[in-house]
Amino acid sequence: MTSHFLRTALVLGLLSAIGPFAIDMYLPALPSIGQSLSASVGAVQASLMAFFISLGIGQIIYGPISDMVGRKPPLYFGLLLFAVASVGCALAPDIQTLVVLRFIQGLGACAGMVVPRAVVRDLHTGHDAARLMSLLMLVFSVSPILAPLAGSLLIESLGWRSVFWAVTVAGVLGLALLATSLPETRPPAQRVDSSVGSALAAYGVLLRDRHFMGLVFIGAFGISSFFVYLANSSFVLIDHYGLTPREYSIAFAANAASFIGVSQFTGRLSGRFGLVPVVKVAVTGYAAVMAGLLVLNLLGMDQLVVMLPLMFIGYGFLGLVVPTTAVLALDDHGAIAGTASALMGTLQFVTGAVMMALVGLFVDGSARPMVVGIAGCALVAFVMARGTLGGSSRSPSA
């Protein structure tokens, strides 16, 4: 493994982590934001959902633009918009203003979500792409593992507004990293045939590609189960189970560490068994564990000592599902990798926002709505995998 390969993974992972950083640092602050701004649980969760919705919508725009003008200009614009909106969030006087600014912040952050995936496809395919994607996710893990703990420490000492000043700094550092450490991977010669018309045509091709769409939605419902956890876990673990914000951050980081740690086996396992078999086994294990958690909860075992170990195991399986489905989905669409990555991201984040909203309708202060939402998403991902890959004729190395 060359130093250039590792450096590319480091840069892409850090750029990808800026948006999630603005989510993960923010999670321990949700209860205190509600108290500070005299807002209900639903109103505070709306600020999180607004961020997710804009993350999804914005990718539809950034992806084709990155095919037309190159990968770096959209990243510059997105990171600058993210930094400016973060300052606004830090100064927000009420929950309505915060929701609007979080939406704008998400529009900036999504550039860092969609473009790095396209860069991976610019550089590699197949096994090498899976290896780079898993390394990218290892760097990306800095956010879900460390950000909640850092957020809780900031909240305890400086209040929830300090979280947004911290993510402003992250945005500025991202701009510096982009300017100094990432070369353009889509040269002008490859942009000649890219236009608004070709982007619309490409979306038509992708939407008609059942294999692509199936893979996207396997990943979408897998990620959505984690989004349901994001939106509800701080209220469930802090208010229902009585953890402190710092204890919650440690519990959240453990699940993120499982997800990221297991994802590092993606390259090795796909090289030995193929990407398709890895997806099948991983999504089956994920659905089985989360369905087991739901059954235990329905039987009355509403205990943290039951939930956390099963979440840890389940999100480990999910760590294999997400990178493999992304690589498989993009493999056949190198010429429109930015557009394909954008559609994938949009569908995944919009699906996640819808599932968060659905679960939010049934919030009752207990863990059950969250558990039902997580298990439901995992089971849908399993069904999608059976339908999409059950009779796959793709080569084992695919």
DSSP character string of 255-285: HHHHHHHHHTTHHHHHHHH-HHHHHHHHHHH
What percent of the chain lies above the pLDDT cut of 90? Answer: 33
The answer to whether residue 4 scores a pLDDT higher than 80 is: no
In terms of pLDDT, which residue wins out, 56 or 138? 56
Q: Which helix (H) or strand (E) holds 189?
A: none
State the Cα–Cα distance between residues 105 and 54, nearest whole angstrom: 8
State the Cα–Cα distance between residues 41 and 35, nearest whole angstrom: 10
State the Cα–Cα distance between residues 214 and 217, nearest whole angstrom: 5
In terms of pLDDT, which residue wins out, 5 or 259? 259
394's CB contacts (< 8 A; 6+ apart) are 276, 328
The answer to whether residue 335 scores a pLDDT higher than 80 is: no
The confidence score (pLDDT) of residue 2 equals 67
Lowest-pLDDT range of 29-43, 140-154, 349-363 = 140-154
31's CB contacts (< 8 A; 6+ apart) are 44, 234, 235, 238, 239, 245
Q: What's the pTM value of the predicted model, to 2 decimals?
A: 0.73
Contact at 8 Å (CB) between 279 and 324? yes
What percent of the chain lies above the pLDDT cut of 70? Answer: 91
Contact at 8 Å (CB) between 182 and 118? no
The answer to whether residue 130 scores a pLDDT higher than 50 is: yes
Is the four-CA dihedral 42, 43, 44, 48 of positive or negative sign? positive
What are the pLDDT digits (tens) for 71-118? 889 999 999 999 999 999 999 999 999 999 999 999 999 888 888 877
pLDDT band at 394 (very low <50, low <70, confident <90, very high): very low
The confidence score (pLDDT) of residue 395 equals 41
Q: Rg (Cα) of the chain, in Å, rounded?
A: 20
What are the pLDDT digits (tens) for 162-197? 999 999 999 999 899 888 888 888 777 776 666 778
Please state at what angle helix 266-273 crosses helix 304-331, rounded to 10 degrees: 60
